[in-house]
Structure formats: C-alpha cells, structure tokens
C-alpha cells in the first residue's frame, strides 16, 4: 500500500490540519462537522447485546426508513447520513453504545476534504483531516478497531453546525472549527440562549505548534498536531493532540539494510525551496555533487523527486523564479513528479533522508524512521556563543532534533564537512526502526479521550471569573 506523503503534506499546510491531526481518534468528520458517533470507522462493531460499550449500528430492518447510502462514493455527507441514522436508531431503540451519545461536531472544510474516499485512499490521512478527524476506514472496507467511541458529524457551513447542535445540545461535547465567535447567532449569550456555549465551540485547530485562533478562551482550546520539540515545555501555548503513523508504517514493506542501494533521498518535493535564502536552504547547491565524489568508494547516489508547484507560491518568489528558471541540482537525480507508489518504494530503499531546511515539521521523516531510514536534520539557527545549546536551536524538524545517531543526524546549515560525515555515517550504519512514543495510536487515543472527557465548562468558568475580576466581563454565558 502506498503512502502519498505529497498529498498529506499539502493538506497539512492547508489546515492545517496540520494538518493534525486528530489523526487517529475522531472518526473522520469534515467541514462544519458534527461528530455523531465515533462511528464504525473508529470502533469495533459491538453486538446489540453489549450496549455498555462500543458502537451500535442501525439494524438492517430500519434501512427502509432512511434514504440509501452511497458508500461507493463516500464523502462527509454519506458519513453524516450514516452516523445520524445510527444515532437516531440507537436512541429510539435504547441500545446506544457507552460513548455513542457523546457527540463531536466538526466545522471546517479540512474535515470534509479528509473524508473524501479517494483522498483517504491516496494519502496518510490528510494530516489536518487526519490530525483532527482521526481514524479513517481502510480502503478495503475494514474498520479500525482501536478508536471510535463517539459520534461524529461534519458540516461545511456554520448554520448547519448550529442546526445540528440544537438537535443534540446536551450530547455535544466539543465543536471543532473556528468562526462561531464571529458568526451572528452562533455563540450562546443571554440574548441568544439557543446558541452554542463558547466553551464548547471555541476549539480551533492548527498543524503547527503556533498560530491558531487568538480569540480563544485559553490556549487549551487551540488544538494542534505537532510539538515544540526541545523547547521549554512552559512555553506551551496550544493543546497538543498529535497524530499516529502506525498504519502508514505497517503498510510499507521493510527493506533490509544490506539489500538497499547506497541511495540518499534528497528531501524536497517543492523545487522553490532551492530559491530560499540561506539558511532556509541549508546547503550550497554544489554540496551534493561534491559529496558524491567524496564518498565515491561507497557508490553514493542522491535521488529525489521535485518540481515547481505554483499552488502556494508567493508572488515575490514567482518573480524570482521567472528571472532565474530552475536549474538541476548537480549530483541529484530528479525523478520529477511521482506518484505515491514510487515515492514509497524510493523512500523505503533509501539509506538516509537528507533534509535541506524545508519543509518544516513534515511527516516524511517519521515515516522514514519507522522504516529504518535516518534523517539528516538541518540546524538553521543557533547561539553563536553556545552552539551546542539545543534549546537555542531552530531546525527543519525541532521535534526530532533531540534524537541522536543513528536515528537523526543534526548538522548546522553550511557545514559541508559535517554534511558529508553525517551522510557517510548514515549510509554505513544500519538504523533500527523507530517510532516516536508520543505518536503511537494508543498515545493519540489517550490524548483524544482526555480532550473529549475534560470538564471544559468548569475551566471556562474559571476564565470567565478571571475576566470579570479584571473588569471585562464576557458577553458569552456558561
């Protein structure tokens, strides 16, 4: 099974959802969501006699009461339809699973996109969509058995989210998606008692550990897919949920190290990274050809797959490219635009993933590590007076810079000797498969459980009292 890191990265930046990312825990809702049941995507099927736990689907006898589902072209509408059908059925029959009446509403386009069947088949899960909406149904139709205890629904417009909330106000635990605060009639106030309480609707999402909705009640309501890495944990300003790579790692065949060619994968799908100023592009273009010559005894070859993608290209960079068209990187074999199958194949048989400074915090290095492929991480900024102080470093992947060889080789931008030495060590030293403990499906599931089960009303009450004491009583009510 191929993993389309390219599309995953695209979605990550799009949230991104970041994205993030509740990658394996919410049963995949989409924009304007309303998670109605951590549906069958995420949870094992439970026989009707076991109402205390699990997720109970609507019995086949009730199919005639609902319009048919078109699961061959599954999208957020079909998923919402199914989840609502199951929820209404279990309520009417008094046979809901333990957490089936705990509803999560998704209200972002990223969720909708992540639920498109074709996208779920071709990417890691659309990080944003994956990060925030969680466990997806496998392409072969089997269900994820680890997650899925709540109800999930996804909507594209806030008005839809509000309408669904009013159907299940007491069941809705959280509403994930920005915009309710600014939308007229969305937030519950004394004048609008049927709106959504702010403590339920203020959840915003971001892939990166910065940004998010600056109007949140508190940083706990800003959920994100990545961490700060080795930064001071007291600087945490967002709510980390994360995402898991378990399924993606298991879907790729491990290639024994002694069967891999002496290949170093040039990590960049976007050729415009080469036009960035130093140290955002961490190496001189000549390094790759020079390194190939320096390591000729190992028959080293740099391979990559990149092109100019104008989708997210700033106007200033477009002008620079127009003035100086893309030239080949000496010493790198560029495969151009490749599909997920070939990318996975190339990555799996590489001996090292060579970072160049961008993209930041991308998922590919995690996939590489679980396949026994070390990552050469570019350290772009550091304290000149104390260059070994990692708390002052800013690298391409801050989360991974805390790891040591043979997993991660941190090399300062512009350090040619360090660049060559790291590559030689990486291609000659087998790297055991590694998975970040924070990125296991169980770890993500536990953080998601805490998010859903937390007493957000009590925390919001504390913030409300604090603001009132400061003479700025909120308009919203508890």
Instruction: Give 304's strand partners.
Output: 266, 334
The pLDDT > 70 percentage for the chain reads 71
Query: Which of 27-36, 207-216, 437-446 has the least mean pLDDT?
Result: 27-36
For residue 222, the model assigns a pLDDT of: 84
Two structure tokens written together for 224: 């994100």
Alpha-carbon distance values, 444 to 54, 224, 264, 412, 450 (Å): 19, 12, 31, 32, 10
For residue 185, the model assigns a pLDDT of: 87
Strands 301-304 and 263-266: parallel
For residue 148, the model assigns a pLDDT of: 36
Is the pLDDT higher at 81 or at 291? 291
Query: Which of 30-34, 204-208, 308-312, 323-327 has the least mean pLDDT?
Result: 30-34
In sequence order, which ranges of 182-333 are alpha helices (DSSP H)? 198-201, 246-251, 287-294, 315-323
Q: What is the per-residue pLDDT across 144-193, written as a single tens digit (0 to 9) for each?
A: 323 334 455 544 467 788 888 998 899 999 888 777 877 888 899 999 99
Indicate if the pLDDT at residue 10 is higher than 60.
Answer: no
CB 62 within 8 A of CB 109: no
CB 65 within 8 A of CB 18: no
Indicate if the pLDDT at residue 123 is higher than 90.
Answer: no
**Reported confidence tier of residue 365, pLDDT bands at 50, 70, 90:** very high
Q: Mean pLDDT over residues 197-218, rounded?
A: 79
Is the pLDDT higher at 315 or at 250? 250
CB 120 within 8 A of CB 139: yes
3-state secondary structure of 128: helix
For residue 39, the model assigns a pLDDT of: 32
6 membership: H or E segment, kind and range: helix 5-14
Burial tier of 323 (Cβ tally within 10 Å: 0-12, 13-18, 19+) = exposed
Cα(103)–Cα(96) distance, rounded to whole angstroms? 12
Indicate if the pLDDT at residue 30 is higher than 80.
Answer: no
Q: What is the per-residue pLDDT across 415-435, written as a single tens digit (0 to 9) for each?
A: 999 999 999 999 999 999 999
User: Is the previous residue joined to 13 through a cis bond, with omega within 30 degrees of 0?
Assistant: no
Domains, the chain, with CATH or none: 5-244 (no CATH), 248-428 (3.40.50.2000)
Q: What is the mean pLDDT of the chain?
A: 77
Indicate if the pLDDT at residue 316 is higher than 50.
Answer: yes
For residue 131, the model assigns a pLDDT of: 42
**Reported confidence tier of residue 307, pLDDT bands at 50, 70, 90:** confident
**Reported confidence tier of residue 457, pLDDT bands at 50, 70, 90:** very high
For residue 28, the model assigns a pLDDT of: 31
Cα(240)–Cα(446) distance, rounded to whole angstroms? 12
For residue 184, the model assigns a pLDDT of: 83
**What are phi and psi for residue 452, nearest 5 degrees?**
-70, -35
**Reported confidence tier of residue 408, pLDDT bands at 50, 70, 90:** very high
**Reported confidence tier of residue 455, pLDDT bands at 50, 70, 90:** very high
**Reported confidence tier of residue 309, pLDDT bands at 50, 70, 90:** confident
- 121, HSE (Cβ side, Cα atoms, 13 Å): 10
**What are phi and psi for residue 103, nearest 5 degrees?**
-105, 140
Count of C-beta atoms within a 10 Å radius of residue 194: 10
Eight-class DSSP state of 458: H
Query: Which of 124-128, 275-279, 321-325 has the least mean pLDDT?
Result: 124-128
Q: Mean pLDDT over residues 271-278, rounded?
A: 84
Q: What is the per-residue pLDDT across 332-353, written as a single tens digit (0 to 9) for each?
A: 999 998 988 888 899 999 999 9
Strands 33-35 and 151-154: antiparallel
175 membership: H or E segment, kind and range: strand 172-176
Indicate if the pLDDT at residue 436 is higher than 60.
Answer: yes
For residue 105, the model assigns a pLDDT of: 86
Cα(395)–Cα(413) distance, rounded to whole angstroms? 9
376 membership: H or E segment, kind and range: strand 375-381
For residue 323, the model assigns a pLDDT of: 66
CB 22 within 8 A of CB 448: yes
Residue matched to tokens 């389309």: 4
Residues 6+ apart with CB under 8 A from 276: 357, 358
Q: What is the per-residue pLDDT across 228-259, written as a single tens digit (0 to 9) for each?
A: 765 555 455 668 888 898 988 999 999 999 99
Two structure tokens written together for 410: 């941190």
Indicate if the pLDDT at residue 137 is higher than 50.
Answer: no
425 membership: H or E segment, kind and range: helix 416-428
């Amino acid at each position: 099974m191929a993993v389309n890191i390219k599309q995953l990265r695209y979605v990550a930046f799009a949230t991104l959802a970041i994205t993030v990312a509740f990658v394996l825990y919410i049963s995949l809702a989409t924009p304007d969501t309303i998670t109605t049941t951590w549906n069958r995507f995420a949870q094992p099927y439970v026989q009707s006699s076991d109402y205390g736990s699990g997720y109970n689907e609507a019995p086949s006898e009730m199919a005639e009461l609902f319009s048919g589902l078109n699961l061959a072209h599954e999208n957020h509408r079909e998923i919402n339809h199914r989840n609502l059908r199951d929820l209404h059925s279990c309520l009417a029959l008094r046979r809901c699973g333990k957490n089936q009446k705990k509803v999560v509403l998704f209200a972002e386009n990223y969720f909708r996109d992540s639920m498109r069947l074709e996208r779920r088949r071709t990417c890691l899960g659309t990080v944003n969509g994956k990060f925030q909406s969680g466990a997806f149904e496998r392409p072969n139709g089997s269900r994820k058995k680890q997650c899925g205890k709540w109800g999930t629904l996804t909507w594209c417009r806030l008005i839809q989210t509000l309408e669904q909330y009013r159907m299940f106000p007491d069941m809705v635990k959280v509403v994930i998606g920005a915009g309710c605060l600014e939308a007229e009639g969305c937030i519950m106030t004394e004048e609008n008692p049927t709106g959504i309480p702010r403590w339920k609707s203020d959840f915003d999402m971001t892939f990166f550990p910065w940004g998010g909705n600056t109007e949140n009640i508190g940083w706990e309501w800003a959920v994100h897919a990545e961490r700060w890495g080795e930064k001071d944990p007291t600087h945490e300003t967002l709510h980390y949920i994360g995402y898991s790579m378990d399924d993606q790692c298991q879907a790729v065949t491990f290639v024994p190290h002694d069967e891999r060619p002496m290949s170093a994968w040039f990590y960049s799908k976007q050729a415009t990274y080469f036009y960035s100023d130093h140290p955002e592009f961490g190496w001189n273009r000549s390094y790759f050809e020079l390194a190939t010559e320096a390591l000729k005894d190992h028959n080293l070859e740099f391979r990559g797959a990149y092109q100019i993608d104008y989708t997210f290209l700033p106007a200033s960079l477009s002008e620079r490219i127009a003035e100086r068209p893309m030239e080949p990187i000496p010493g790198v074999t560029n495969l151009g635009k490749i599909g997920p199958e070939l990318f996975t194949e190339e990555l799996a048989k590489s001996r090292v993933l060579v970072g160049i400074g961008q993209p930041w915090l991308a998922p590919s290095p995690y996939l590489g590590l679980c396949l026994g492929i070390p990552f050469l991480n570019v350290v772009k900024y550091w304290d000149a007076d104390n260059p070994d102080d990692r708390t002052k470093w800013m690298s391409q992947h801050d989360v991974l810079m805390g790891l040591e060889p043979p997993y991660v080789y941190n090399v300062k931008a512009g350090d040619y000797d360090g660049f060559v030495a790291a590559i030689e060590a990486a291609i000659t030293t087998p790297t055991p498969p590694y998975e970040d403990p924070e990125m296991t499906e169980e770890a993500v599931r536990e953080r998601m459980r805490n998010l859903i089960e937390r007493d957000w009303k009590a925390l919001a009450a504390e913030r409300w009292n604090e603001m009132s004491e400061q003479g700025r009583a909120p308009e919203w009510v508890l």
